[in-house]
Structure 1
């Protein structure tokens, strides 16, 4: 009888887990494979051969790595918490967190236009607009009609294992990002991207 109860409990847990995964997986898969680009001329999937989904901030990184010139072409997508906000994608050459990050950012200005800028984060309280420690070209930003903000760029890499950080914020002061929230998703929006040999 005890074995039957244990089996029933195990099956109940397995069924709950299966139902949960069936509810979560399609939404995660949307970020890469079914992402609708509302009103943006977007070359995916021909330009970007890979995509990584990030649960924190429901973000996606579409990318192609060119080993011939060590460049990464990317399209990063996330939705800010408010319509006048910003999204950012960064490489941290020295650490796994925000301090030291070299940031590409899409910001919605007070005029309603969306601009792309680069920032160097030297401390938690210092976000300085500047050139980055690596070359960046073809940098642009767009806002889709569903509120998703997109960053497009190509970056020159000196390594193939990248410490990535991404973030979203709800306020832009002129053309400078306001501080983001410090919720769980904000504190854990980081990952490593391995680009292979």
Structure 2
């Protein structure tokens, strides 16, 4: 007998190779007295869509625990139509459900349930893609959508029932998500804003000469290169998780990457300072650059939400870095206004013919 444990669930089975029969039991728990617990097998791929599921919930008429079969087609994921019970194929030989505690047990938040099933596997096939989840409500005999936290969206595993080996695909996805988040936070969320600050506040420092431009360009190019790597990892994550769509995060990512690409290409068409179109290019460069920076930072925070890290130390560390940049920006902005006002006052004195140094000496002698 083999078994694997997941968060708040357990799957155990016995496989009979001589006839390809699989006896298994799935243990889960309710998160609501009116909720549901489901388990199933996807015969083609490790995703929710296409799963043949057995879902347990309290009968709306009698209140007794029932177990009904369902087929999860694409319309269910998009919530275009209610989930209706449909008979499964001939591979399901038998099924039943039992509450932990026997017939006298009641359905409540945290109550445990066991789903039993006997399956007939295809010849020479020992791997199954099993899917599990639980929800808060059932409308009639139609279970509603489950929560969409990261743990709920990762409740899929591929298991070899003969050897007991569990596929490491989800460990790979989890690793890729971490790398994707770190790279994008550093590139879009830190490096690109730093490059923007260098351009805005150091370009007027005459002592630096053209050094500010090289620093600005190098940091922006490094940030965009890392951002491109992070963007590519995000595309790969989408391919590995076809049943999960983070619409807002995805759209913001595409827009930010497109704007970053336009910024990079704009360097190839940068007019000379004496060119008549230089001012238009400059306005375009500033508008797209600031827009890309803002979208990048917003999408970093959206990424924390998607990964379920909205209250993590990683987000706290990023907020501290971003706060430091904002503080530096405010200090430099104040300094820029002080320098601007001082320069305006000096220009006014020059126009009135009053020597700045002489004016200070006269004031000092009179005192």
- Residue of structure 2 in register with 1:112 after alignment: 63
- Residue of structure 2 in register with 1:94 after alignment: 44
The DSSP-based 3-state class of the residue aligned with 1:168 is strand
- 2:36–2:134: 8 Å Cα contact kept in structure 1? yes
Q: Alignment length, in residue pairs?
A: 147
Deviations 1:37-65 (A, max 9, x none): xxxxxxxxxxxx2221012xx10012111
Normalising by structure 1, what TM-score? Answer: 0.69
- Residue of structure 2 in register with 1:136 after alignment: 92
Specify which structure has the higher proportion of helix: 2
- Residue of structure 2 in register with 1:15 after alignment: none
Structure 2 unaligned regions, length at least 5: 164-367
- 1:115–1:142: 8 Å Cα contact kept in structure 2? no
Deviations 1:138-174 (A, max 9, x none): 3111222461121111011112111111011121122
Matching of residue 69 in structure 1 with residue 19 in structure 2:
yes
Matching of residue 54 in structure 1 with residue 13 in structure 2:
no
1:162 and 1:135 mapped to 2: Cα distance?
Answer: 12
Shift of 1:134: 4.0
- 1:63–1:73: 8 Å Cα contact kept in structure 2? yes
- 1:121–1:128: 8 Å Cα contact kept in structure 2? no
- Residue of structure 2 in register with 1:170 after alignment: 136
1:104 and 1:121 mapped to 2: Cα distance?
Answer: 11
1:150 and 1:108 mapped to 2: Cα distance?
Answer: 14
Matching of residue 152 in structure 1 with residue 120 in structure 2:
no
Shift of 1:195: 2.0
2:30 and 2:91 mapped to 1: Cα distance?
Answer: 26
> Judging changes above 3 Å, is the alpha-carbon distance between structure 1 residues 191 and 160 closer, same or farther for their aligned structure 2 residues?
same
CA RMSD of aligned residues (A): 1.7
Structure 1 unaligned regions, length at least 5: 1-48
- 2:2–2:161: 8 Å Cα contact kept in structure 1? no
Higher relative contact order (CA closer than 8 Å, sequence separation 6+): 1
Structure having the higher Rg: 2
Shift of 1:175: 2.1
Tell which deviates more after alignment, 140-149 or 60-69: 140-149
- 2:25–2:117: 8 Å Cα contact kept in structure 1? yes
Deviations 1:92-145 (A, max 9, x none): 112211001111111222232111111111111353421223422331112224
Shift of 1:177: 1.0
Matching of residue 193 in structure 1 with residue 159 in structure 2:
yes
> Judging changes above 3 Å, is the alpha-carbon distance between structure 1 residues 137 and 196 closer, same or farther for their aligned structure 2 residues?
closer
